[in-house]
Structure 1
Amino acid sequence: MRFSDSFTKRFYAIVFFLGASIAIAQKRPELGHVTVAELEQKKHPKDSSAAAAYLYKHTKVTFSFDAGGIKVITDTEAKIKVYGKDGYDYATYEDFYYVRGGSISVKEAATYNLVNGKVEKTKLKGESEFESKVTKQIRSKKFVLPNVREGSILEYRIVKTTYSIGRLRDFYFQNDIPVDYVQYELRLPSDFKYSKLIRGSLNPEIREETITEAYGSQVQKTTYTLKDVAAMKEEEYVTNIDNFRSHIECELSGYTDSYNILHRFSTDWASVGGHVFEDEDFGPELKRTNYFEEDIKPLVDGKTDIEKMNILFNYVQSRMVWNKYMGYSCDDGVRAAYKNKIGNIAEINLMLTSMLRHSGLKADPILLSTRENGIYSFPSLTAFDYVICGVKIGEELHLLDASDKHAQPNILPVRAINDKGRLFNEKEGSYTVSLEPEKFSRKMVTVLATLTPDGQIDGQARDNYFEHHALRYRDSYADLGKELCADKTEKRFSGLEISDYDVLNRDNLAKPVTESYTFHHSGLADLIGDKIYFSPMLFLSLAKSPFTQDKREYPVDFVFPYQDKYVISIKIPDGYEVESVPKEAKLGMQDNLGTFFYSIAPQQKTLQLTVQYNINKAVISEEYYEILKEFFSQMIAKQNEKVILKKV
């Protein structure tokens, strides 16, 4: 992902150069004390499956003042034990910093191994450190620790500096590997006021004190400590696992001046909205209209509101190319973007919002945080990294994002579907908007198959994809020719051989995508004696449940509610008759979260199977995990039950 220039502006917009508050580093815990016993340890004592573990992790955040302004210094030490080959990934470190005043320096880094009963240290060499340009504003710092093997201990100390004081970097107590001891030390100048929020299920020990540092400066020191933190491992259907791992968020909310007067920043949505529309890269850009007026007038004259919305959405979507820059502020401006037919998220969707307003519709920008960026917690200028358009027609609010070539009104790209957004209007204020789709996305699969006496299965399949299912197909298969599409579909189903592949309406967003192909499979039926055993769902059944954990600490995110229906007709071979078929089944989850229906009927020489399952809610709370897990377990077991044919 690339970030726009405006990404950094969000921070600098709220930086006030208040005066010196110089933090002098205290004595830090020493790295380098590695024992033979630590190196001999084969498994983590509390998680034998762990490929690695943090034996120790400590981060200290301090502030200093220089000619460039107020600087945040983040000093991180880590000691990691590698148990297995999957833990080798922790030997690679990468982080990013802003070119303006930012830096990342490696103070210490080494690998420790046990060699002939003694501790051997291998230091990181300079040639193993790499810096690269990500964008004109962002650089990457990366290194790979040397001589890593099973049993190694890795240590490093990294110091990162930035002038972005508006939102401190989130600190995670919890990771995807166990953490034996973790501590976060926050030293805030006494005249700075930060909103602090601890998210997740863990409650760290908190110690607060006021200390006087060099030059007489007062610092509020808060230390957060946790021990024996279990890994939070990622399972399928999660928005962004970091949303749910225990961590702390810190947002600058105000400062106290030399007269002891408190000045507050964006601590409520009214002030956030004020800052948004005052931003020269947002408010004025939304008001510009003269660059498109003559072009759109003949398109919308005499049209209804719904027609205007669809016409203008299609117009911007087809004209503009997203340059992959995120953010909610313009870089080159809407006029230049319109002329050059390329722009960032803000330029494309503010342009659309402006066109809709100019055409008489009630349209407003909706700011949101993408799935990758996380879920915002409190009113903040820095919480958002994306903007879409909301259009109120009658009582319905339509959500539009013209940056994606395959999106449609109310069918947002997945990156933008993340809990909720905030609609802002210059005069009426703002309110929360749910981004969670409510309408079913449908998939309809029809199969005509023939089973041969030797267990081969040949047939034709026709898949119809609607709504978000269609969006996913179009995104996944974009720009692929038929041969590559066939290859991609084959890889979805083990052992399937496809020919005569065709697809309709891939570029016609008004219609469902229709995928059709001829198939052959030789591994779906078992011949035992004079009988044939096979699942009538053929290659379409789920092989295993996506839900395998004993306990889940975060919601199950399906992105959108969906309905998948399968109608399968199978001709049985001559000389055989049906001995038994699976029984009809109906399953339902508590609170109507999902349903499953399975029915098979022998009809002379054919079997007719109908299967349908619905997930009725896009996001299901972790409180229902056991119910959902059991539902999927029973559904998959039924899908894999066998028909038995016997030779006549």
Structure 2
Amino acid sequence: MNKTLLLLAFFSYFALSAQTFNSTDLRVTKDDLTLNTYEKDSTANALVLYEQGNSYFDRHDYVLTTKEKHKLKILNNQGFDHATIEVYLYSEKSDSDKEKIEDIIATTYNIENNEVIATKLSEENIYKTRYNEHYNKVTFTLPNVKAGSVITYSYTLISPFMWKYKGWEFQSSIPKLYSEYKASIPGNWLYHKKLIGSEKFAVNEVDIKKNCLTSFNGGKADCEESVYAMKNVPAFIEEDYMTTTDNYLARIEYVLKTFHSMDGVIKNYTKTWKDVDKEFKTEDGIGKQLRKKVNTEELLSQDILNNQNTLEKTQAIYKYVQNNYSWNNDYKLFSDFTIKELTKTKTGNVSAINILLHNLLDQTGINVKPVLLSTRSNGYPTKIFPVIDDFNYLIVKATINGKDYLLDATNKFLAFGELPYKCLNYYGRELDFKEGSNWVDIEPQSISRVMYSVNASINDNDEIIGKVKDKYTGYDAYFTRQSYFENKEEYVDELINNTPFLEIYNHETSTTGKTENTFAETYDFEYTIDDNTNLVYLNPFIIKFFKENPFKLQERSYPIELGYQRNYLYSFSIDLKDKYTVQELPKPTRLALPNNTGDVSFSAQQLGNKVLLNFKLSLNSVIYPAEYYPYLKEFMGKVVNIQKNSIIVLSKN
């Protein structure tokens, strides 16, 4: 009887509804079950139909409570992963104070033989594990999931940590029709709100609820009641040339600023940079190690100590630390370490190695400052107020004759003044315990260039023979140096494998040092012409800078972050020696990006028996705003087309 009534209720609702997904609540409609495509994103494997979060301070138990509801459509088999739910619960090391999860309800809906089948999650299929020292993890997978299923799940989170107010992600790797978050915050808890991403709110309402909270001593507080919602949120799809998803994923976060207790006591959680500078100066970690004296006479040679040229002395000290101490791949900026231990073991984390460099430079009279930064994969550090956890790396800034040099001695292949690519995240915080800390720009010192020169000719055996000379500068030189010196044989093998239609031999490089500013190499090549045809179709780009367009999205809502400016130069010359006649040359091309942020030029001409070709590509910006994406996508598509389809047509004399 109950089952029949349930089915009647279902199909009564089906008859009245339009042919659209229900994105207003957790109810599962006929359209939710029968519609299996999402018109706005045909590539989507799953779709969030509706979700809501509601966070509030429980006035009885004095804990932060968050109730969550989710409804998803599984569009095809590739969407099954979204039926496995993982919830991370924060806990202190003692595990006495920890977040909890309660009231997990999860159901899978399918239509089978015109009947709605609801399959509920069993409690024994909910798994709780220790994830790491700070988090427990709860995992459950919805049962009986198929292509076309609709899943719903809900739960309640209980947290004793008001300093860690629940945030909300309105965007994810799959599109969302409706995502809503409600937050009720007592007036005695003051938070900084961080709104991240470029998506716009469909609902953004804030109201004040009087006397929402009372204490045992009669104290009262009003609450800020907020409602935020987004509709038709596109999936966030990662693509090349970006930092980290966390910089752009549409969401709201809360950082506790101040707590006013009911008895009048005020506690500040978010400090000023002046407060942070003072703490760094006196604390036992980074601050203490920056004050440590090192025995320069024992560590450095007399040639270094007696050098009166400031730049040369700085370079020599940098090279000493770079060559004698190894990074242990530890990014923990504030982990326990000592300079004394580093000098004994010769191995340490980023902070230890670069603080040793700082102290050696400082004690030999060089003007240096430590700089905190966040790597590209770690996200942008907050500028509005200090959030020390945003930083995960420490480098050194040396000022010599009015010029600043940013130094990192953890990498054996970096030239003096270069930072690892992972550190090119726009800005860092320079620590100055006397004058106060300040923001500094993190920028490459020079443009990176890749230059190829190919000189070829046709011999008596109808073979194209020639020599390639190439030169890299800047970060392109750094990447190539590292690849070459780490494994020379593997480097040459990869070079050969990347050009299977050529015979490559006599590879040489004039670069002898791992930290030189450039990398240069030469090699000979040979290519056999097919003599069974009257015409020869020759692509002069035996080396291609881009084999495919790196930009493939229909649209991109986040910027294109190259990290550094890039130039590519390619010249090709072939001597036909009266053996062949040019029938056709590729047409010249010249294109430019808006506001002179990039250009490409290509030309081919015949001079006597020689064919000369020149190609130049410049990307003049470190970062391109999202609105440049369609131009950059079209631009790079044409760059790839030039390299793939520029053909010289020759006929044999």
What's the TM-score once normalised by structure 2's chain length? 0.81
**Structure 1 CA distance for aligned equivalents of residues 454 and 160 of structure 2:** 60
Aligned to 2:32: 38
Aligned to 1:22: none
**Structure 1 CA distance for aligned equivalents of residues 575 and 417 of structure 2:** 41
Is residue 43 of structure 2 the alignment partner of residue 49 of structure 1? yes
Deviation at 1:509, TM superposition (A): 0.9
Deviation at 1:414, TM superposition (A): 1.8
User: Aligned match of 1:617 in 613, 621, 625?
Assistant: 621
**Structure 2 CA distance for aligned equivalents of residues 431 and 408 of structure 1:** 26
**Structure 1 CA distance for aligned equivalents of residues 526 and 76 of structure 2:** 41
> Aligned-residue CA RMSD in angstroms?
4.0
**Structure 2 CA distance for aligned equivalents of residues 71 and 275 of structure 1:** 31
CA contact (8 A) 2:318 2:409 kept: yes
**Which SS does the other structure have where 2:278 is aligned?**
helix
Q: Deviations over 1:81-105 (max 9, x none)?
A: 2223443443455566566245675
Deviation at 1:287, TM superposition (A): 0.5
Q: Deviations over 1:230-273 (max 9, x none)?
A: 23433332222331232223222222244546544445332332
**Structure 2 CA distance for aligned equivalents of residues 535 and 351 of structure 1:** 53
**Which SS does the other structure have where 2:487 is aligned?**
coil
User: Aligned match of 1:176 in 173, 178, 189?
Assistant: 173
Is residue 474 of structure 2 the alignment partner of residue 467 of structure 1? yes
Structure 1: gaps (5+ residues): 1-28
**Which SS does the other structure have where 1:472 is aligned?**
helix
Is residue 310 of structure 2 the alignment partner of residue 305 of structure 1? yes
Q: Deviations over 1:437-491 (max 9, x none)?
A: 2510121223345679999866554443222112223455674351x32454456
Q: Deviations over 1:538-563 (max 9, x none)?
A: 34163443334454332221110122
**Structure 2 CA distance for aligned equivalents of residues 271 and 314 of structure 1:** 35
**Which SS does the other structure have where 1:306 is aligned?**
helix
Aligned to 1:207: 205
Is residue 614 of structure 2 the alignment partner of residue 593 of structure 1? no
Deviation at 1:630, TM superposition (A): 4.2
**Which SS does the other structure have where 1:429 is aligned?**
coil
Aligned to 1:415: 422
The more displaced of 506-515 and 495-504 is 495-504
**Structure 2 CA distance for aligned equivalents of residues 454 and 95 of structure 1:** 69
Aligned to 1:328: 333
User: Aligned match of 1:373 in 374, 378, 381?
Assistant: 378
**Structure 2 CA distance for aligned equivalents of residues 475 and 98 of structure 1:** 41
**Structure 1 CA distance for aligned equivalents of residues 342 and 557 of structure 2:** 43
The more displaced of 468-477 and 336-345 is 468-477
Q: 1:154 to 1:275 in 2, by over 3 A?
A: farther
Q: 1:584 to 1:245 in 2, by over 3 A?
A: same
Deviation at 1:428, TM superposition (A): 1.0
Is residue 534 of structure 2 the alignment partner of residue 510 of structure 1? no
Q: 1:133 to 1:48 in 2, by over 3 A?
A: closer
**Which SS does the other structure have where 1:560 is aligned?**
coil
Aligned to 1:79: 71
Structure 2: gaps (5+ residues): 1-22
Deviation at 1:617, TM superposition (A): 1.9
Alignment of 1:62-101 (within 5 A): 76-93=68-85, 100=93, 101=95
**Structure 1 CA distance for aligned equivalents of residues 323 and 134 of structure 2:** 29
User: Aligned match of 1:295 in 277, 280, 299?
Assistant: 299
User: Aligned match of 1:319 in 324, 327, 350?
Assistant: 324
**Structure 2 CA distance for aligned equivalents of residues 506 and 162 of structure 1:** 59
**Structure 1 CA distance for aligned equivalents of residues 339 and 87 of structure 2:** 32
**Structure 2 CA distance for aligned equivalents of residues 85 and 470 of structure 1:** 44
Deviation at 1:288, TM superposition (A): 0.5
CA contact (8 A) 2:551 2:633 kept: yes
**Which SS does the other structure have where 2:376 is aligned?**
coil
Aligned to 2:401: 394
Q: 1:444 to 1:272 in 2, by over 3 A?
A: same
CA contact (8 A) 2:294 2:359 kept: no
Q: How many residues align structurally?
A: 614
CA contact (8 A) 2:91 2:99 kept: yes
Q: 1:403 to 1:574 in 2, by over 3 A?
A: same
Q: 1:124 to 1:497 in 2, by over 3 A?
A: farther
Alignment of 1:239-258 (within 5 A): 239-258=243-262
Q: 1:132 to 1:521 in 2, by over 3 A?
A: farther
**Which SS does the other structure have where 1:538 is aligned?**
coil
CA contact (8 A) 2:374 2:428 kept: yes
CA contact (8 A) 2:591 2:635 kept: yes
**Which SS does the other structure have where 2:199 is aligned?**
coil
Deviation at 1:498, TM superposition (A): 5.6
Deviation at 1:426, TM superposition (A): 0.2
Aligned to 1:222: 226
Q: 1:230 to 1:286 in 2, by over 3 A?
A: same
The one-letter code sitting in structure 1 at the alignment partner of 2:79 is G
Aligned to 1:153: 150
CA contact (8 A) 2:26 2:69 kept: no
CA contact (8 A) 2:353 2:410 kept: yes
